[in-house]
Amino acid sequence: MSAPTGGSEHVADVAVAGLTLRVSVRHARAGSRRTPLLLINGIGAELGLLDPVVAALPGDLETIRFDPPGVGGSPAPVLPYPLAGLATVVDDLLTRLGHGRVDVLGFSWGGALAQQLALSARHRVRRLVLVATGTGALMVPGPPSVLARMLTGRRYRDPDHAREVAGRIYGGTMRTRPEQAAEVLGAGRSGGPGDRGYRYQLLAAASWTSLPFLPLLRVPTLVVAGEDDPIVPLVNARILHRGIAGSALHVHPGGHLALLTEPHELAPVVDAFLASPADDEAGTPG
């Protein structure tokens, strides 16, 4: 994993709630008073996948990332886990790391976990950023041909397969530069997600939805979505925006992976939201 620019980065295995999680913390530059940012990745993705966006964020912002159970450096548990249970683990992890309130960015599958964390540990989350994500099992799905290719983590292991499916499942720049997919996903550089870990992530998302509790999310929220996202069609972002009172919506012309392929366009949008003055208690972003 490349070291993002900014402060120093520390990667370690952390034991929490009977699990061992591989965790990366990029420390902020000395003197920073900003709230740390927890970034939660998409399904099957190791924490290094988020290197481009972390590198594009300013060095005075501390960032925290982790590999979910069964992905990357985090061993898979024996039994599947519910998303609410994993949110409790993440809450405990932040306590172990010595953090109080944090901002949270959830990307794709990680957006579901971020929403759950903002609900079940609302004391923990100051602001919420939801990127290329939806409301879980009850959402407007992409085409069946796209969802079928999401049932395995092969694209993380096989560069040729990643190039073959990239345009169809990710949209955006992947339609014209599918060879970029293997690089962005790290295909072939590691073993990819374990089959059990990937299945556990699928099961956790399939048995969870945020749709009924969106009105309970009073944390200032930014929803970021692409116009060409086959996995999570744009209408899902509008559902989140309308359901979360006072939320802001940023629509860009790219696809599902735009946060990773065009980080210098989207990271400033995220950073401006996190740094802007707002009435946090009222739950309305500036």
For 26, residues 6+ apart whose C-beta sits below 8 A from its C-beta are 4, 6, 7, 8, 9, 54, 62, 63
Q: Which residue has the tokens 């949209």?
A: 171
108 in active site:
yes
3-state secondary structure of 4: coil
- Determine how many CB atoms are found less than 10 A away from the CB of residue 176: 8
- Catalytic residue (one of 8, 32, 74, 108): 108
Q: Which of 158, 182, 121 is nearest to 170 (CA)?
A: 182
In residues, how long is the chain?
286
- List, as one string, the DSSP characters of 67-136: PPTTSTTSPPPSS---HHHHHHHHHHHHHHTT--SEEEEEETHHHHHHHHHHHHTTTTEEEEEEES---B
CA 31 to chain centre: 27
Any idea which residues carry the catalytic annotation? 108
